[in-house]
Structure 1
Amino acid sequence: MSAEEKLRWYAALDDVPPPRMLAEDVLVTARRKVRNRRIRLAATAGLATALVLIGVAVAVPRLDASPVPTHPSPSVVPSTPSPTAPPLHCRAEALPEPGGLTPAQRMARAIDPSGRYIVGTYASGPDTVGLLMWTDGDLRQPAAAKVFAATAVNSRGVVIGKAPDRDGYKHAAVFRDGKVSLLPRPAGTMYSSALAINTHGDIVGTVSGNDLPKYGGSTEDLPILWPATGGYVLLQTGQDDLWPHTAAAIGDDGVILGTVLRSGGGFTISLPYRWNADRTGALLPLPRPLTTKSAGVAAMAGQWAAGSAGDLPRAQAPSPAPSLDVHFGTPQAHVRWNLATGAFEELGIFSPYGVSATGAMIGADDPYARTPAVWRGGTVTPLPLLDPGRSFMVYGGVSADGTTAFGTMMPPVSTTSGDPKGPYDMVRWRC
């Protein structure tokens, strides 16, 4: 199976893509073939700067807000590298498995901030995915969520994901109090996805559709907030050159992280963006200006966030083994942001999948092998495996206190192995 075929298989699995780090970092070459990032825009493309939708609450930045820079500012001083911490010792244990399924039919996908809940999916048919939920290690398969693809869970056990509407199209949904409910969406929405939820039950994600507002002539995704109190809010930037794109994380303080699009020189790229609780916003700083390579947010907890920052500088990028040349492009650069101070820290070749409120991260210590590791205080410590033959991390996350993490592992990617259809190991680490 080629890298492009693997990417297509992931996308078709349940309409919920694998982590940003996998889709855009590991299979970057395939993505560039499948979705050309260099989108030429017509010079006369119109730009919608206001939304007038009946019954839709629209977030508009304050008029007195500071201007948002058109570049991720390289003038922001990076934070001082963290002092080296002693290696972190963790133990691996297998998550209980559902009966009657093969190792290729189930996977873990997300963990809540408390570490009590881990959610995942199981394949009950060729095109049917149901909810798996571990509570303090005990597994259940809710009967009401037999057709539900989980993406995240909060510390109250509320799960978000996707479920079919009456016509069979999958849309953003929530599993709460033993029931699956579709989230409201603007008229004309063809696609919707719930990506993150905070303790209060506020949810963020994306919507798209031909009848929704277009920016620069594009029908790209739009970021959306579903407040716990009901309804929805389409997020904006208030700037003609920054188009709202995705909302990927939300804190208990109401801060939302996601991406915006910017066009120039024949390229359209995504850049990491922060919406404050009052819906003012700004780009997150990056180590260097980007013109052709995209960046984005992968995870957020407390005052910490982590994500991608374009390609690694050539001098820092390792080369893949000869057998992996067909699967990988240039590795992405990654950073950890301190949302309280605005400082950032470059992570070298470490690729974060999840971040804790203490700043520790779970991720991959090798951009090609994708073996699991923990980053803490500047020290990267490999995580133990249940099976050395399943060492490639597909999904991963960590609790807010950094003591519990999980990973879904598959065989390493090569020209003859690494089939994305599994088999998978579902691992929980105690640190």
Structure 2
Amino acid sequence: MTTVDDQRIAALLRSVPVPEPRVDVRRAVRDGRRRRRRRRVGGIAALTMLAGVGVVGAVQVGGTTSRPAPTTSALAVPPAATARPPVTCQASWLSQPIGGPVAVATGVDPTGRHIIGDIGSGQEDGRVVLWTDGRPVVLPKTARHAAAVNASGQVVGTNGDGTGWVYGDGKLRFLATPPGYDAVLVHGVNARGDIVGTARRSDDTHQAVRWSTDRPQTYRLVGQRGSAAAGITEDGTIVGAMGELPYLWTPQGVGKALAVPDGYPRASVESAHGEWAIGMAPGGTQGGAVQMLPVRWNLTTGAVSLVLYPGASGIAGNGEVLVADGAPLVVAPDGTSRRLPGRPEVRATEAGTYSAEGISDDGLTVVGSVYEDQAYRPLVWRCAR
């Protein structure tokens, strides 16, 4: 039910101004939140996912940068597990300040304090919600499709008309669209207040953009024409694409291509936290659809590897991968994994389909939703070592 739909994403990307996303009830993914699965709640994920697979897959922009040889590329059995402190997790509901049968948590800040989500009927009326330490705030109606939240509780996103926005301290402000472009797609924000996204125009020209939460009407173009930004780390490293190459820009603005797994024509970066990034690479075809395979990069060493688990929806700052579908799983860099539990009153194996959409930097807070009784409810997993 949650399969990758690159053609749909590419079609959205080529449309300017950006249309209101189609009604798609989010299930448990994401990926490929990017990962990519097709998320379904009023298209929140459609906008969120555009920077990664969509940009790379839809844009055929030539460049002078050559593809580097991968430092590491493997699809292999994970190494033998080393002793790790036991982790215990407990799921609990997030409160719903407004009514609606489609209520999901879609992201969490690196610290685990701030959670973003969406509540509505599934008919393009979803409202963005910010939970801070469990207390919900409903954002203004003019804020749609939240993409990310930082450690200060500042939320960024993109409205259906291609207007970027930032919310903080009870105020909603809009981001400047660079002259000559018709729309922007906002994807990330870090603790320093750096916001990144991609500006597009009707001829399919696009370029990565950086804004500031303090000065939302000031912007800086990143890289050159054909660039796209999918996320930003706390130190200011931007990840995204240059043409069909996965790419990063250092905090100093120096760009370089990331390695592509051996035997694969391309890959896309979808998000990054700490020294880790996650994305997708096109695999074989099954049932007429291309199967997308999760890819993990170490941004410090340049190493790249395929992840054995499909349905990866996010990555923590410590390198743990969040696998979203059905009964969510957290997989450590050494290959060890832990299954997240269902709600205390209902075993996940007995009722409900769980999805997980976001993970904190330490891997101890995960957010998502459960579908049961014809409705989606938001929840959070809190873990301890």
* Fold match (TM-score > 0.5): yes
Once the two structures are superposed, the pairs formed by residues 288-327 of structure 1 within 5 Å of their partners are: 288-291=262-265, 294-311=266-283
TM-score by length of 2: 0.76
Partner of 1:356: 316
Structure-2 separation of matches of 1:277 and 1:114: 21
Is the 2:282–2:290 Cα contact (8 Å) retained in structure 1?
Answer: no
For residue 219 of structure 1, what is the amino acid of its counterpart? D
For residue 356 of structure 1, what is the amino acid of its counterpart? A
Give the counterpart of 1:259 among 222, 241, 254: 241
CA drift at 1:203: 0.2
Give the counterpart of 1:347 among 293, 307, 310: 307
Structure-2 separation of matches of 1:332 and 1:125: 26
Give the counterpart of 2:223 among 236, 242, 256: 236
Pair 1:120-2:117 in alignment: yes
CA drift at 1:390: 3.4
Structure-1 separation of matches of 2:198 and 2:32: 18
- Aligned-pair identity (%): 28
Higher RCO (Cα < 8 Å, 6 or more apart): 2
For residue 331 of structure 1, what is the amino acid of its counterpart? Q
Is the 2:293–2:307 Cα contact (8 Å) retained in structure 1?
Answer: yes
Structure-2 separation of matches of 1:146 and 1:38: 30
Structure-2 separation of matches of 1:352 and 1:39: 21
For residue 210 of structure 2, what is the amino acid of its counterpart? L
Pair 1:77-2:72 in alignment: yes
Structure-2 separation of matches of 1:358 and 1:121: 27
| Structure-2 change in CA distance of 1:356 and 1:277 (3 Å) | same
CA drift at 1:23: 6.8
CA drift at 1:354: 2.0
Pair 1:274-2:224 in alignment: no
Give the counterpart of 2:209 among 224, 227, 231: 224
Give the counterpart of 1:102 among 83, 100, 103: 100
Is the 1:398–1:406 Cα contact (8 Å) retained in structure 2?
Answer: yes
Structure 1, residues 154-191: CA drift from partner, whole Å, max 9, x if none?
A: 00011111347xxxx34110001211111011123322
For residue 378 of structure 2, what is the amino acid of its counterpart? M
CA drift at 1:198: 0.5
For residue 259 of structure 2, what is the amino acid of its counterpart? P
Structure-2 separation of matches of 1:379 and 1:24: 20
CA drift at 1:286: 2.1
Structure-1 separation of matches of 2:179 and 2:281: 34
| Structure-2 change in CA distance of 1:410 and 1:259 (3 Å) | farther
Structure-2 separation of matches of 1:302 and 1:409: 28
Provide the secondary structure at the position in 2 that maps to 1:299. strand
Is the 1:20–1:298 Cα contact (8 Å) retained in structure 2?
Answer: no
CA drift at 1:329: 3.0
CA drift at 1:147: 3.9
Is the 2:366–2:381 Cα contact (8 Å) retained in structure 1?
Answer: yes
Which ranges of structure 2 fall in alignment gaps of 5 or more residues? Answer: 13-18, 40-45, 47-53
Runs of 4+ in 1 over 4 A off after TM superposition: 1-10, 37-41, 78-83, 85-88
CA drift at 1:252: 2.2
Give the counterpart of 1:407 among 346, 365, 368: 368
| Structure-2 change in CA distance of 1:160 and 1:356 (3 Å) | same
Q: What value does the CA root-mean-square deviation take over the aligned residues?
A: 3.9
Q: How many residues align?
A: 345
Structure 1, residues 99-152: CA drift from partner, whole Å, max 9, x if none?
A: 4x1322x2211100110000112237944332211111122224x456433111
